[in-house]
Amino acid sequence: MNILDDLNPEQKKAVMHDKGPLLILAGAGSGKTRVLTYRAAYLIEHRNVNPWNILAVTFTNKAAREMKERIDRLVGYGSENIWVSTFHSTCVRILRRFIDRIGYERSFSIYDDDDSRALMRDVCKYLDIDTKRIPEKSILNAISRAKDELIGPEEFEKNTGRDYMLKKQAEAYYEYQKRLKASNALDFDDLIFKTVELFMTDESALAYYQNRFQYIMVDEYQDTNTAQFRLIQLLASGVNEYGEREYNLCVVGDDDQSIYKFRGANIQNILSFERAFPNTKVIKLEQNYRSTKSILSAANEVIANNIGRKPKTLWTANEQGEPVTYTLFDTDMDEAESVTGEIKRMVDNNQARYNDFAILYRTNAQSRMFEEKLIRKNIPYKIIGSVNFYARKEIKDLLAYMKTIDNGLDNIAVKRIINVPRRGIGAATIEKVDAYAINNGMSFYDALVRCEQIPGLERSCAKIMSFVSIIEGLRSRLYQENYNLTELIDDILDATGYLKELEEEGSDEARERIANIDELVNKLVTYADEAEEAPTLSGFLEEVALVSDIDSFDESEDYLVLMTLHSAKGLEFPYVYICGMEEGIFPSYMAMYSDNPQDEIEEERRLCYVGITRARKRLSLTAARQRMMRGDISFNKPSRFIKEIPEHLLKINMPDRKTMTSFAPDDYQPSRMNYKPFAFSEPKQFAGNNLGELEYGVGDTVRHFRFGLGKVTAITMGGRDYEVTVDFEEYGTKKLMASFAKLTKAE
């Protein structure tokens, strides 16, 4: 059978496209993964393209694994030579081969968020940066945004102007990168940043991969940032035998599902693709195979309110299905009780399994109420977006031992384990070693080896050398013939006494940590069995460093899933509940009162569209008249996204108050406010000193604990708080919420 027989006309056009740039606008559930996999097979079978010359890039390991499995089934022999991987995995493979050309060793470590925070703490301490005034997290966020835009420390410093905070961030950026390089380490953003740097400074490395990857396919293109765009542009800029640029680049994406602006995603990459790559062929995939007509109609109606989008309308040949339900509860407690109760009834009545359901929400904080109800009802569940397995203490400790054995230059890894388990090496000793290493331009580990030369360490040196001996002994075993990674972890546990200490503790927590260590051993065995090349310690550390939380999601296990709307992208479920559909929650308060509310609200609307299109059979939207937020009861209006769905597509439920409040504590009293479900009003403007609640007004000079003195230029009422615009003498104009800013009138 011809593989083209399985495709609809537009999918077929996309698969058969040969030379030149191709933009596939693939709506939710329109079979984009099928198009990419079939296109790879078609190029090999009908265009005689060598599998070696095809690169397919996506964003998650889960998506890459699914794509690779499908290609393997279609192509068979030779498919293993196609590169199918995430952006970060692709860059790691490139850097492992060529990073020495930009001054790093090929055995570089990859820092996760915890490692980066630990390094930034050291940097701030060294530079005497007040982290109460300029938090470490804000500096790391600024550095991440800069790397997304391919802005290095020098250019960042040039752009600081007279801004004190930016100047401090620039100092930290420079020192942070200096220490990363000294540790022969890259953070996550560096993986792409340094690959682009390699290609822009080494023509032979770029030419090698341009020749290698003659056909490039990129999934979820709407989520790319500037650095990723530049990476793909460089790789696709090779010339053919006639010296012509063909840009054999196929990107698949949906501007309506661009929801990662906060991570640096630039929606203009997809909206302006035709300008970046001349003679682009554009194909729209608008037939949805996932959802019912009712669900799809609701999604189309919501997203149509966005202005910054390419026009498209999804349609489906599926059944009409149930109408979308919208339920307004009295309280968030009622909301959680009703949703979890309905799920349990359906499962008890054999209408569904727990893994058919997903509860989605805008922020992680909303999960608590649902968790409490699920536990009481004995419903199995998993939160996607909770603590990553590899972020747990015992796993981080053992990985740090492995990193130290693999790359002794990794200062953060060495510092983490030098006193784990406890060896009597205290903070004062570590500070002296660190200072000696910095002053002498060497790694922390090399300074440990030379501890006898460090003044003031006479009493600690024996303990330090005991640690060094453990590392050197383990490192030497790694090079023994037939020595495998499971033996290495056993030797680490034995040599350090880590496992023995947990066994002696004997607590429930210790037993859980031992079980986690056993699971890490299982992962090592799986890695060794499934590795495409000879398994190595560097390869294992690389694999676990690139794992994301969504990779742990297993659709075959029978548990209910709780997750944020951002985490749900790329997944689908028969039954979906989107909870907390209220103004100030979804769309978020920050989006509503940002400097650019139209763009931010459009991003929130795209997020709503993503949530709606996760549902296959039934979609339930819920809101609450009152909700506990930050310790206070808030009264929020229903989300504007509910209003954007025509009433003929909605089944609106208003539960009886007596029924719903029966779930609440005995002393609970429902709100008596006069509530209008679809009444929306614009924020009111105030001027002068007519606001009794504030001690200052427009035109007054006020003082802020961080920004100093400034003049109030506007005050706006938003919900239950005032938004105050202040022109600060040193920091420029800021928009602040009065209850959080704690502004005081200057005398």
Render pLDDT for 251-290 as a digit per residue (tens, 0 to 9): 999 999 999 988 889 999 999 999 999 899 999 999 999 9
| Helix 188-201 vs helix 226-235: crossing angle, to nearest 10 | 40
Rank 143-152, 231-240, 368-377 by mean pLDDT and report only the highest: 143-152
Q: Please count the other Cβ atoms lying within 10 Å of the Cβ belonging to residue 593.
A: 18
Q: Calculate the CA 602 to chain-centre distance.
A: 20
As a whole number of angstroms, the distance between CA 528 and CA 570 comes to: 29
Locus of tokens 């922390």: 444
Residue 706 has pLDDT above 70, yes or no: no
pLDDT of residue 388: 62
- The better pLDDT of the pair 192, 386 is held by 192
Burial letters for 351-365: b for 16+ Cβ neighbours within 10 Å, e otherwise?
ebebbbbbbbbbeee
171/681: higher pLDDT: 171
Give the count of beta carbons closer than 10 Å to the beta carbon of residue 68. 20
Q: Greater confidence, 677 or 608?
A: 608
Whole-prediction pTM: 0.75
Task: Kindly report the average pLDDT of the chain as a whole number.
Answer: 87
How much is the average pLDDT of 444-468?
A: 91
- Rounded Cα gap, residues 401 and 418, in angstroms: 9
Q: Please give the Cα distance from 121 to 110 (Å, whole number).
A: 18
Report the SS3 class of residue 57.
strand
Alpha-carbon distance of 130 to 134, in angstroms, equals 6
- pLDDT band at residue 550 using 50, 70 and 90 as cut-offs: low
pLDDT at residue 666, as a whole number: 37
- Residue 362: strand, helix, or coil: coil
Q: pLDDT band for 668, please (50, 70, 90 cuts).
A: very low
Cα 319 to chain centroid, rounded: 35
pLDDT recorded at residue 35: 93
Q: Are 302 and 612 in contact (CB under 8 A)?
A: yes
Token pair belonging to 551: 């990779």
- Active-site residue list: 32-33, 219-220, 257, 614
Dig out the tokens for 666 from the structure: 């005995």
Q: Where does the pLDDT of residue 736 fall: very low under 50, low under 70, confident under 90, or very high at 90 and above?
A: confident
Rounded to an integer, the average pLDDT of 102-115 is 91
Choice between 492 and 715, residue whose per-residue pLDDT is larger? 492
Distance CA 551, CA 339 (A): 26
Dihedral-angle region of residue 308 (phi above 0 means left; psi in -120 to 50 means alpha; beta otherwise): beta
Q: Sorting pLDDT into bands at 50, 70 and 90, what band is 596? A: confident
pLDDT at 739 over 60: yes
Higher pLDDT, 169 or 551: 169
Q: How confident is the model at residue 367 (pLDDT cuts 50, 70, 90)?
A: confident
Lowest mean pLDDT among 29-43, 417-431, 552-566, 671-685: 671-685
Q: Residue 580: name the closest of 601, 598, 564 by CA.
A: 564
Give me the pLDDT at residue 384, please. 83
Burial class (CB in 10 A: 0-12, 13-18, 19+), 630: exposed
CA-based angle 115:118:119, to the nearest 5?
A: 85
Percent of the chain predicted with pLDDT > 70: 90
Lowest mean pLDDT among 238-242, 542-546, 734-738: 238-242
pLDDT grade for 656, boundaries at 50, 70 and 90: low
Give the tokens for residue 132: 């109460």
- What's the rounded mean pLDDT across residues 436-463? 91
Beta strands in 98-203 (DSSP E): 109-111, 185-187
Rounded-to-integer distance, Cα 36 and Cα 56, Å: 8
What are the residues facing 110 on neighbouring strands?
186
How high is the pLDDT of residue 671? Answer: 36
